[in-house]
Amino acid sequence: MTAILLSHRFHQASGVTLLARAAELGIKLEPIVLPAEQEARLDADACKRIEIAYFSQDLVPDFARQFFSACYKAEQLCWLHVFNAGSDHPVFGQMLERGVRVTTSSGANAAPVGVTAATGMLMLARGFPGWMAAQRRHAWEPVRGDSAPGDLRGQTLLLVGVGEIGKTMARIAQALGMHVIGVRRSSRQPEDPVDEMHPPAALDRLLPRAQWLALTCPLTDETRGMIDAGRLARLPQGARIVNVARGEIIDEQALIAALASGHLGGAYLDVFEQEPLPAESPLWDLPNVVLSPHNAAASSGNDERATAMFLRNLGSSARGEPMKNEITKGAGGKR
């Protein structure tokens, strides 16, 4: 019997399916269910039995601390699977240091995030911030002549990070007739929906070509602070930025300055250096900025996709095969 740590909500919604799937694989699971009260903790005997833990989406934000408190006390924990793609939180490094294998459901929310990123781009491209501001004032202010937005067809999107999220955005951009340049460490593959692929070292020479800079890369030592004042200055006048990666990838003060000065034409931002975004941040009031509260991934289908990935890894583990999306020490991730 293998004890698995689950949230009370996941156990209620999917526990029967999980146990049945495990039985098909020849695995007998003992559910260890977190208390439904935020301040409650599992007793020591239950924690000692835990060998597998599944960090499901319903644990965020109210029950995450409770869940990881149990993980820290689980001396026999050997595998932790998390619903999201992000692995840059210190807790994952601590688990790895203990010898716990950590896998993610990377890709489960790729389509929603990529679609949201493209939506932010379209809102900026079509001038929605101005129309929405006029709506709040009850003002009829059509754009005409020189103030009309330019066509996206023929514009260049520079995409830093061409994983599943980046690919989703790239496909939409290509369908709109944009020229897509990808930046990532691995070389271009035939299925990559980009017109060009370059290594990160080429970023400085690519920036002047981009009317759009989209960040869909993981937060790592290499990408932290990657878009600083110098690189923002290399973008052409009026260029716009989309960030659905991590706020720490951009120097936020430099971004605010570039937006306020008019060097940048706008930005769609889902992530920030400090979250929640402080009420006093100038980003709230800049007229050329669209914000969302780190919510680009929101979708009713994420749980089902994330759980399916966990079950596939459960099967791989039972058969002694490599598990998908296993992270290693020092790895960073998106969501």
**129/154 Cα distance (integer angstroms):** 23
Active site residue 8: no
Active site residue 335: no
- Residues ≥6 apart with Cβ < 8 Å to 9: 56, 58
Q: Are 50 and 5 in contact (CB under 8 A)?
A: yes
The C-alpha torsion from 151 through 251 and 278 to 262, rounded to 10°, is: -40
Strand partners, 181: 158, 196
Q: Are 243 and 251 in contact (CB under 8 A)?
A: no
Which residue in 246, 305, 321, 335 is the catalytic one? 246
| Closest residue by Cα to residue 173 from 231, 114, 216 | 114
Active site residue 246: yes
Which residue in 179, 184, 240, 294 is the catalytic one? 294
Residue 110's alpha-carbon distances to 85, 188, 290, 321, 325, in angstroms, are 9, 19, 20, 25, 14
Which residue in 24, 37, 275, 321 is the catalytic one? 275
Query: Annotated active-site positions, please?
Result: 246, 275, 294
